[in-house]
Structure 1
Amino acid sequence: MASLHAGFATMSFSARFIALRKERGFTQQSLAEATGIHVQQIKRYEAGTSEPSAEVLRKLARTFAVSTDWLLFEEGERAPSDDLALQFEAVQQLSDDERAIIKEVVESLIIKYQTRRWDSARSAAPAAKKAAKEGRRK
């Protein structure tokens, strides 16, 4: 499977989907039958005019024996930056208790960041409403 992943790493979803279907020996019709997805919808995915729902991605991933992440994301697209990857590797060397503490700290920072973003968006909403209201008066 590693060689399969390497060749598909920088393809769009539709190109990856077509290549994977052909690599696994499916015709559009046989894939439709195997997944329960209408053949016309398979054609839309391959043409890039439609994207699959989460449920369809699950069916495709099961049929092709790959992860949904593999179907959707290019190699490394969801991976942490190199410096964080090295730190995460180092964290693996720590005890369970130390890793739990690090996890709590990271979760706290994420919540703090999300709260700040939510507060900013909430305080920006009245200003946007006011500007839109004033724009209608002109």
Structure 2
Amino acid sequence: MPLAARLNELRQRLGLSQQDMADTIGIHVNSWKKYENAQAFPSLDALKKIAIALQVSTDYLLFDEYERGHTYALALQFEAVSQLNEGEQAVIREVLESLITRYQTRRWDSARKVTKEGS
């Protein structure tokens, strides 16, 4: 998906007007409209501000999914988690630790069964 379409989609998903976005990143609304219409490309500084405002990484704005590795989606989710408050992050860490422990336990049990059966 081209940058212009991605900017439009993300802005609308957050319920922001073009004026809201322009105000948030400190540019004139006409500049934002040019970004969304693919008539101009944001500077690096503006791109950084846009990524923060839209709660995504600059990689997400610039690269299509097929251009990145399969773990990229997970990296984007971790990026989004980093935007949450400490309490929300703690809950997510607990859930992840629980899932990882559960997975490792299953692997260990499976390996132990294979070893027992082979004896």
Structure-1-length-normalised TM-score: 0.48
Q: What residue is the counterpart of 2:46 in the other structure?
A: 56
Q: What residue is the counterpart of 2:7 in the other structure?
A: 17
Q: What residue is the counterpart of 2:115 in the other structure?
A: none
Identity among equivalent positions (%) equals 44
**Which residue, out of 28, 44, 50, partners 2:18?**
28
Find the aligned partners of 2:5 and 2:32 in 1 and give their Cα distance. 12
Find the aligned partners of 1:33 and 1:78 in 2 and give their Cα distance. 31
Taking only aligned residues, the RMSD between alpha carbons, in angstroms, comes to: 1.4
Find the aligned partners of 2:69 and 2:15 in 1 and give their Cα distance. 30
Q: Structure 1: where are the runs of 5+ without partners?
A: 1-10, 81-138
Q: Secondary structure at the match of 2:66?
A: coil
Q: Secondary structure at the match of 1:76?
A: helix
1:76 Cα deviation from its structure 2 partner: 2.8
Q: Which runs of 4+ in 1 moved over 3 A?
A: none
Find the aligned partners of 1:66 and 1:31 in 2 and give their Cα distance. 14
Q: What residue is the counterpart of 1:4 in the other structure?
A: none
1:37 Cα deviation from its structure 2 partner: 1.6
Q: How does 1:93-132 map to 2 (within 5 A)?
A: none
Q: What residue is the counterpart of 1:39 in the other structure?
A: 29
Q: Structure 2: where are the runs of 5+ without partners?
A: 71-119
Q: How does 1:59-70 map to 2 (within 5 A)?
A: 59-70=49-60
Aligned length, in residue pairs: 70
Q: How does 1:64-103 map to 2 (within 5 A)?
A: 64-79=54-69
Q: Which amino acid aligns with 1:19?
A: E
Q: Which amino acid aligns with 1:33?
A: D
